[in-house]
Chains A and B, each alone.
Chain A
């Protein structure tokens, strides 16, 4: 292992240690800092997962409250964002279960006829149109509307968050093979939609 890699790993571990100690103390200024630091990333993940701006905002708040309450469980060896997204995902699933009780399998089924993970009616609404900004936002919003939520979720973890496949598997609580197949299918669908739009 190179010296630079070693230094980087030590710094990351030190930061994780500080976060773990701060969360155990329920240090409000640490939490303020974490909320600031992860605001866009967490919100984007929740938006991709739920397909609804309102639900993403509600779950954003609940996730941080849960982080505060469960902070003593966070271990220094874990990457903070993996733990954070796992909490956010569990909350989102709990929320959906309360709204439409069904099995976890059904909730995670990416190709179900009723798109169970979808909280908002994204087929008709413009949740993503309203949520995204940027040059290609409208095209991306159209493409995302047509992707199953479980594909959107892994795409955002891989290509926005640059997470390793093993980390994604931990967040979505699925085997590595499932994560890969969702990524390949999601990428193919995204490409198809954007290809048509650009054409």
Chain B
């Protein structure tokens, strides 16, 4: 029998395990293996190697599962608590923004009155108004950013 037939059979022996064979390839290989002891030996070696690989069971320390479950529970609680805190923060931010928008005309008049009362320039009292209006949002954004930065550093693996 020609070498290339054996070569092809050996390729199919591996392909059977790695990718699977078509019906035609399977029948051709089986027919060849019945008549060729050398290729049959190779097929047997392949099956034995894979059987050995599959039958090797890693030793497993059960305390690893318990430790992992405990760590996961603690982390889950942290994440849930953190999410609740963040939700409260977002709600208060939204409320604060809505109140800010609603009270803006009053605040504007208030700053305008103070500007006239103490003879402050228009640019100055307008700057004061702008700062007082954005200050809560800036503080809230800073708090959220700090919390998120702290949260992401905790999630970094060792």
Contact = CB atoms under 8 A, between A and B. Distances in A.
Interface stretch (A5-13, A37-45, A111-119): A37-45
A82 B64 CA distance: 22
* SS of B interface (majority): helix
Contact of A187 (B46, B54, B65): B46
A28 B17 CA distance: 39
A172 B49 CA distance: 23
A131 interface: yes
Interface in A171-186: 180, 183-184
A152 to B, nearest CB: 10
Interface stretch (B69-77, B92-100, B111-119, B123-131): B69-77
A136 B52 contact: yes
Contacts of A66: 155, 157
Nearest to A198: B48
Contacts of A190: 49-50, 53
A194 interface: yes
A140 B72 CA distance: 33
Interface residues of B, number: 35
A36 B77 CA distance: 20
Contacts, number: 127
Contact of A158 (B18, B48, B80): B18
A92 to B, nearest CB: 10
Nearest to B62: A39
Contacts of A62: 157-158
A164 to B, nearest CB: 10
Chain A CB within 10 Å, residue with most, of B48, B52, B67: B52
A44 B57 CA distance: 8
Sorting the interface of chain A by its residue count into under 10, 10 to 19, 20 to 34 or 35 or more gives: 35 or more
Given A95-B157, A159-B53, A194-B52, A65 B61 contact: no
B59 interface: yes
A16 interface: no
Contacts of B73: 28, 31-32
A43 B60 contact: yes
15 contacts: A31-B73, A32-B72, A35-B69, A36-B65, A60-B64, A62-B158, A69-B75, A91-B157, A94-B157, A95-B157, A136-B55, A139-B52, A140-B56, A158-B18, A180-B18
Interface of B: 14, 17-19, 45-46, 48-50, 52-61, 64-65, 67-69, 71-73, 75-77, 79-80, 155, 157-158
- In the A-B complex, the 8 residue pairs with the closest CB atoms: A140-B56, A136-B52, A194-B49, A191-B49, A132-B56, A62-B157, A26-B76, A183-B18
